[in-house]
Amino acid sequence: MDASDMGADLEKVLVTADQISQRLAELAAQVDEDYAGKDVLLVGVLKGAALVMSDLVRALHLPAQMDWMAVSSYGSGTKSSGVVRIVKDLDTDVTGRHVLIVEDIIDSGLTLSWLVANLSSRGAASVEILTLLRKPDAAKVDVAVRYTGFDIPDEFVVGYGLDFAEHYRGLRFVGTLAPHVYETPHPTGASSTTEASTTES
């Protein structure tokens, strides 16, 4: 999908496909250097991180393995409380492994803070975070992020894995959604006030 496929649903492009590709190549080079000679496990957080993970791992030169988790966070209304339920757990034992969590976006940081603590408690040698996007103004907890692609405003964004009611994940870029899309009732019942993805990281 590209901008023309969205029509009036797109407000503006925040990060272009070329910018994403270039930045992921830069992050991959840093990961290659930092994890040289280490037993690395990339842990993608479903569903949003699927595109970031696939493009990142193809840009890496080190022999990193991949695994996936899906978690659901609970709170009042549309806001995460950081209380988390694992929907899909890892298939891999992380004991002694250097774990790199791969995320599409970090906003409140509540769910991700829980995930770091959970993986660390399983005996991982280290747990670090790589995210394509970060919203500093939305942070509720301080989460140490080792690799960040882009800091963006606290706006409603879609594309490159991020969705609204399971739409727009396949966009090659990251953009803001026009208000008329999320301020009106949606046939799938998605919330009008937060990204409708599996977790609020």
Annotated catalytic residues are 107
Three-state DSSP class for residue 178: coil
Q: Is 176 left (phi over 0), alpha (psi -120 to 50) or beta?
A: beta
Short-list 63, 111, 110, CA closest to 87: 111
Which among 38, 27, 30 has a CA at the least distance from the CA of 98?
A: 38
Do 51 and 161 meet the contact criterion of CB atoms below 8 Å apart? yes
Q: The dihedral of CA 153, 157, 160, 161: what is its sign?
A: positive
Strand order in the sheet with 83-88: 83-88, 65-74, 40-45, 98-106, 126-134, 147-151
